[in-house]
Chain A
């Protein structure tokens, strides 16, 4: 995806539909109507959409209170089949994002790209006081290809930079947000099967201690699930670090799930060769089960000064919402839908 060198030009716009959509005011209530490209207004009562108010403003989320707090917003592509809703999400995309969506061979993949970008843009809009139009965000890539927001130079939100990361499976797309801390997120379907044998994969890509801990599990299904948990944690770390798969090969660090201090990471001996100095261990992890169907790992930078081998890191404050942008948000953390594993 090309990245834009242009500075953000439209900012602090109220989230209202732009022309050619009409805006009618009657008796103090503002009705927004979505006009399709061929000029036919959609019926006000759209099935599946509460009140038909497709352009309701995004509600303000609770603020991120510390760099240890992570907010995750996710959606389920299979449940979003309303074409006018999907068209609306597509309108939020930049031309290059639309081009990328169009390059997808399968319709499902195209839909995933649209939803993924719409989720990111609407989430960023929420966390900038709902004052920035989702359409106006611009992105750049760091030198390793990790996407970041290209903040306008004079915007106050750049002082407390928002960090984001996205992960998708066919059935769930998640966007993690943190403030002042680099973040990585990875989701995986619990029932996912690998084509290769689990221990072969682990021997090829994981560390010896991780292989040993997997080999101890005799039940093949339990072993597969443990592999997936480790996989998502390692992916989340690599994504948080932002240096790509080769910047932190999986064989250079071990993740330990069952320590008394929660999930810990440690570099392996082959990470002491030159080129891997950037592999740091001051990262916080959290692993959860979503809807009993997915594993989700989140990794954020730990900038606290009290980091020492004896101190247990404070747990990551995790809040999770299931969202249908512009329609409905449901806080699911603290319910059965989000079960913390570690």
Chain B
């Protein structure tokens, strides 16, 4: 099946699937990069879930999507990007130096005052409160993003 048609179907199904609210990110249809199709199932890897498979019933054109996530979901790219932006600003990172999810605050030259300012910036941006024990465990941008998502989820739960 041509990739673009597959994308369209997935997008439609995602919209209507109440069991996977995390799939409502409309960008997911762009991530159908490696599609392995066989007669009755199509699978692809996505950034958000570790494995998604789509099974087609021979007599129906609609797909049922089953997703199985292995391990904890990682923070949205959006969150990571926002954290990177706050970190870059606080540490005045020069344009040539990349700041990514794996970047360690210590490797970027953050001292303790920088760290609390970054945490405060994250609290303001995401409307959360980070206690000292959690703050102490943040070593990378990814850690910060994961913590933010956890706190936001807890807040809206």
Residues of A within 8 A of B (CB): 103-106, 108-109, 168-170, 188, 192, 194-196, 200-201, 204-205, 231, 235, 244-246, 249
How close is B97's CB to chain A, nearest CB, in angstroms? 6
Contact of A196 among B112, B121, B131 (CB under 8 A): B121
Chain A contacts for B116, CB-based, 8 A: 201, 204-205
Q: Which 6 A/B pairs are nearest by Cβ-Cβ distance? A: A246-B132, A246-B133, A249-B132, A246-B136, A105-B107, A245-B136
> Is there an interface contact between B107 and A104, defined as CB atoms closer than 8 Å?
yes
How close is B87's CB to chain A, nearest CB, in angstroms? 11
| A235 closest partner in B (C-beta) | B112
B62 at the interface (CB under 8 A from A): no
Chain B contacts for A108, CB-based, 8 A: 109
> Is there an interface contact between B97 and A106, defined as CB atoms closer than 8 Å?
yes
Q: Which of B111, B113, B123 has the most CB of A within 10 A?
A: B113
> Is there an interface contact between B136 and A169, defined as CB atoms closer than 8 Å?
no
> Is there an interface contact between B111 and A244, defined as CB atoms closer than 8 Å?
no
> Is there an interface contact between B107 and A195, defined as CB atoms closer than 8 Å?
no
> Is there an interface contact between B117 and A194, defined as CB atoms closer than 8 Å?
yes
CA distance A223 to B95 in the complex (A): 32
| B97 closest partner in A (C-beta) | A105
B108 at the interface (CB under 8 A from A): yes
What are 14 A-B contacts defined by CB distance under 8 Å?
A103-B104, A103-B107, A105-B107, A105-B108, A106-B109, A109-B109, A168-B111, A194-B113, A194-B117, A195-B117, A196-B117, A196-B120, A201-B117, A245-B135
> Is there an interface contact between B113 and A231, defined as CB atoms closer than 8 Å?
yes
Using known A-B contacts A194-B113, A195-B90, determine if residue A245 contacts B107 with beta carbons closer than 8 Å. Answer: no
Residues of B within 8 A of A (CB): 89-90, 97, 104, 107-109, 111-113, 116-117, 120-121, 123, 131-133, 135-136
Chain B contacts for A188, CB-based, 8 A: 113
| A186 closest partner in B (C-beta) | B112
Contact of A201 among B97, B111, B120, B135 (CB under 8 A): B120
Chain A contacts for B104, CB-based, 8 A: 103
Chain A contacts for B123, CB-based, 8 A: 204
| B89 closest partner in A (C-beta) | A195
Chain A contacts for B108, CB-based, 8 A: 105-106
Chain B contacts for A170, CB-based, 8 A: 109
Chain B contacts for A249, CB-based, 8 A: 132
> Is there an interface contact between B133 and A204, defined as CB atoms closer than 8 Å?
no
| B91 closest partner in A (C-beta) | A195
Beyond contacts A109-B109, A249-B132: 11 other A-B pairs, Cβ-Cβ < 8 A, are: A103-B107, A105-B97, A105-B108, A106-B108, A108-B109, A109-B107, A204-B123, A235-B112, A245-B132, A245-B135, A246-B135
Chain B contacts for A106, CB-based, 8 A: 97, 108-109
CA distance A169 to B112 in the complex (A): 11
CA distance A245 to B115 in the complex (A): 11
Chain A contacts for B121, CB-based, 8 A: 195-196
Q: Which of A195, A200, A205 has the most CB of B within 10 A?
A: A195
How close is A98's CB to chain B, nearest CB, in angstroms? 15
How close is A170's CB to chain B, nearest CB, in angstroms? 8
Chain A contacts for B120, CB-based, 8 A: 196, 200-201, 204
| A104 closest partner in B (C-beta) | B107
CA distance A319 to B33 in the complex (A): 65
| A205 closest partner in B (C-beta) | B116
Chain B contacts for A205, CB-based, 8 A: 116
CA distance A196 to B89 in the complex (A): 12
CA distance A104 to B107 in the complex (A): 5
How close is B64's CB to chain A, nearest CB, in angstroms? 46
Chain A contacts for B135, CB-based, 8 A: 245-246
CA distance A168 to B136 in the complex (A): 19
CA distance A105 to B98 in the complex (A): 10
How close is A243's CB to chain B, nearest CB, in angstroms? 10
Chain A contacts for B117, CB-based, 8 A: 194-196, 201
CA distance A131 to B120 in the complex (A): 47
| A112 closest partner in B (C-beta) | B109
Chain B contacts for A246, CB-based, 8 A: 131-133, 135-136
How close is B93's CB to chain A, nearest CB, in angstroms? 9
CA distance A249 to B123 in the complex (A): 17
> Is there an interface contact between B113 and A245, defined as CB atoms closer than 8 Å?
no
How close is B111's CB to chain A, nearest CB, in angstroms? 7
CA distance A104 to B116 in the complex (A): 21
CA distance A208 to B27 in the complex (A): 46
Chain B contacts for A109, CB-based, 8 A: 107, 109
